[in-house]
Structures are given as structure tokens and as C-alpha cells.
Amino acid sequence: MDNPFHTKGLRHGANDPRGLLERIEAQLAERIEEAVEMAALELLVELRKRHQRPPPASDSQADRAEFHALSVDLLEYLREAFTAEMPAGSRPGLARAEASGGGDEGHRAAHAASRLSAPPSPAGLLKRIFGS
């Protein structure tokens, strides 16, 4: 029977030296990144429409900067919203995890190491649009 789910199968990692858990974490990170990018792009387009500005252009550094700022703003908003909804007893654990992880730089370094150790993946929609 064919797989009814059209996803990249985790079992198809023959060229990927990472273990199953590392591949799952990488795919989760990739899906979260795609979701944030899509939400930020949608918001950017809607804001442009509302303010009667032209749509974003993939070759515009200013548009890329605005897109990046919206992405960062969304992530900060989500962090605050999720933290506010966490049980008070869980918040110290989150603070310890953030402190021990080296902050953004530590997460960026871990993300970069994960991406650099993985085989190339096909370009997503935003990567084709923005060419990055």
C-alpha cells in the first residue's frame, strides 16, 4: 500500500549520517522555520496591501530586512505568549534551559551544525522566492 502521507520519510536517511532522533529534531525545526516564514510573509503582504505599498520583491534588501524583522517579532511574540500560558512551576526550567543553551548564539550554532551535517534538501517555496 502506498504511503497516504506525502512527507519526507524519516526512514529514507541512507545518506544522512545523523541518528533518527537528530533527523526528527531537524525536520521539526525545518517545519517550524517554514511555518514562521509563511506567517511572516503573509503578514508582510497583508501589511503592504493595507498601507497601499507594493508587494515585497525578492531582490530587495529592504524587503528582506522587513521580512526578517517580522519573523523575529513573531517568534518573540510566540515566546511571550507560550511562556505566559505555561504553568508557573515550569517557567524556572525554561529559564534554566535558555541560560544553559548559550542564548540565541548557542541555538544558532547548534542549528548551523545540524544543517551543515545534513545532506542538501530540496528548496522550499520561500527559499525559491528569496533565493537564500
Tell me which residues of the chain have a pLDDT lower than 70: 1-14, 101-116, 118-132
Answer whether 69's CB lies under 8 Å from 40's CB. Answer: no
Please report the pLDDT score of residue 111 as a whole number. 62
Residue type, 39: A
What are the b/e assignments for 93-115, b being 16+ CB within 10 Å?
A: eeeeeeeeeeeeeeeeeeeeebe
Answer whether 81's CB lies under 8 Å from 54's CB. Answer: no
Please report the pLDDT score of residue 15 as a whole number. 75
Please report the pLDDT score of residue 54 as a whole number. 95
Please report the pLDDT score of residue 112 as a whole number. 66
Please report the pLDDT score of residue 11 as a whole number. 53
Please report the pLDDT score of residue 85 as a whole number. 92
Q: What SS3 class is residue 10?
A: coil
Please report the pLDDT score of residue 97 as a whole number. 79
Long-range contacts of 33-36 (CB under 8 A, 24+ apart): 34/124, 34/126, 36/71, 36/74, 36/75
**Count of all residues that appear for the chain in the document:** 132
User: ∠84-85-86 over CA atoms, to 5°?
Assistant: 95
DSSP E strands in the chain: the ranges are: none
